[in-house]
């Protein structure tokens, strides 16, 4: 018996450790408050078991191997790096958040669904209507946000707003395209487009605002301090809850391919009263929140 016990013990040491089964492998691009807020909403009062991997903590992570060994039922990808890491997965469902690459990946990854970083265009257009601005400048890269601009054009036509659209292929193009809008628009719409809006070009939007006396409406609260008149910012906690609903549907048998990519369910309007006052825009009209 002692010999048998010794043999069993020796074999146990040679066998790989079997990870406890879990529902969701959380891939987090880096440690960031935005991801923490979304993950807090995702957890909420749900009972998903999970493993969290923060990619920036490691030089290299073989996600394919981890999924093969751990057999999670679903991968939650937070951020662009996480989505890129999950791109080789073909069978395991992936729900992606806080990434601008979801739409471009969907065609080659039918196991992918998620929530866009764009607020519904009607929300922005209602805000421009409240500001009584009807010629709105918009700069974008067609490959990154052309799908959204097409939807915005259709909504603008219904709502009586004229979109003056300019296309760019590199960030350098943004300055010349902004200049081409001078005298042609009474507001600027800043999209979450990583080509049209960069750290280097963002300030140009606000210089244009000052020189042309037009409001800039953006997508992140950080731009209020730079001179945006208003922003429509995604509620990241609610974004996590929305992702949890998608996850529940998939774990209950739905196919990721059958769950459409979605707009964020809740978007928060924030304004810069001093900029609105300087531009002569009545604050109470600017902050009139359209129905969510």
Q: Is the pLDDT of residue 16 over 50?
A: no
| Mean pLDDT, residues 172-181 taken together | 97
Under 8 Å between Cβ of 148 and 183: no
Please tell me the predicted confidence (pLDDT) of residue 45: 75
- Residue pLDDT, tens place only, 88-123: 999 999 999 999 888 888 877 899 999 999 999 999
Closest to 132 in 3D by CA, of 214, 248, 29, 195: 214
- Which residue do the tokens 């070009």 mark? 201
Residue 262 in this model has a pLDDT that exceeds 60: yes
Question: What is the residue-averaged pLDDT of the chain?
Answer: 90
Can you tell me whether residue 55 is helix, strand or coil?
A: helix
Kindly state the tokens that stand for 261: 């990519």
Residue 87 half-sphere exposure toward CB, CA atoms < 13 A = 15
Calpha distance 275→271 (Å, rounded): 9
- pTM score: 0.85
pLDDT tens string 131-161 = 999 999 999 999 999 999 999 999 999 999 9
**Average pLDDT of span 83-87:** 93
Q: Tell me the sheet residues that pair with 50.
A: 24
Rounded to 5 degrees, what angle do the CA atoms 139, 103, 192 make?
Answer: 30
List the domains of the chain with CATH numbers.
2-114+237-258 (3.40.50.2300), 121-229+272-286 (3.40.50.2300)
Instruction: Order across the sheet with 50-54: list the strands.
Output: 50-54, 24-28, 74-78, 94-97, 112-114
Please report the pLDDT score of residue 15 as a whole number. Answer: 40
- Tell me what pLDDT residue 287 has: 55
User: Whole-angstrom distance between the N-terminal and C-terminal Cα of the chain?
Assistant: 70
């Amino acid at each position: 018996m002692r010999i048998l016990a010794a043999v069993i013990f020796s074999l146990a040491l040679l066998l790989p450790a079997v990870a406890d089964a879990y529902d969701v492998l959380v891939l987090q691009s880096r440690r960031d408050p935005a991801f923490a807020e979304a993950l807090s909403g995702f957890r909420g009062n749900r009972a998903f078991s999970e493993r969290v991997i923060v990619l920036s903590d490691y030089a290299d992570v073989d996600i394919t191997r981890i999924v093969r060994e751990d057999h999670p039922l679903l991968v939650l990808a937070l951020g662009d790096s996480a989505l890129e890491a999950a791109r080789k997965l073909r069978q395991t469902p992936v729900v992606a958040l806080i990434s601008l690459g979801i739409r471009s990946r969907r065609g080659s990854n039918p196991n992918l669904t998620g929530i866009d970083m764009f607020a519904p265009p009607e929300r922005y257009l209602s805000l421009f209507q409240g500001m009584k601005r009807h010629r709105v400048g918009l700069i974008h890269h067609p490959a990154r946000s052309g799908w959204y601009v097409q939807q915005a054009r259709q909504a603008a036509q219904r709502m009586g707003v004229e979109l003056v659209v300019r296309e760019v292929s590199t960030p350098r193009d943004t300055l010349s395209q902004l200049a081409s809008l001078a005298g042609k628009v009474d507001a600027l719409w800043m999209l979450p487009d990583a080509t049209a809006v960069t750290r280097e070009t963002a300030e140009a939007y606000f210089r244009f605002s000052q020189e042309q006396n037009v409001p800039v409406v953006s997508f992140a609260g950080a731009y209020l301090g730079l001179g945006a008149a208003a922003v429509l910012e995604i509620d990241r906690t609610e974004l996590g809850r929305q992702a949890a609903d998608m996850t529940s549907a998939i774990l209950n048998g739905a196919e990721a391919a059958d769950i459409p990519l979605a707009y964020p369910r809740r978007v928060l309007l924030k304004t810069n009263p001093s900029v609105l006052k300087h531009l002569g825009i009545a604050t109470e009209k600017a902050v009139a929140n359209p129905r969510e």
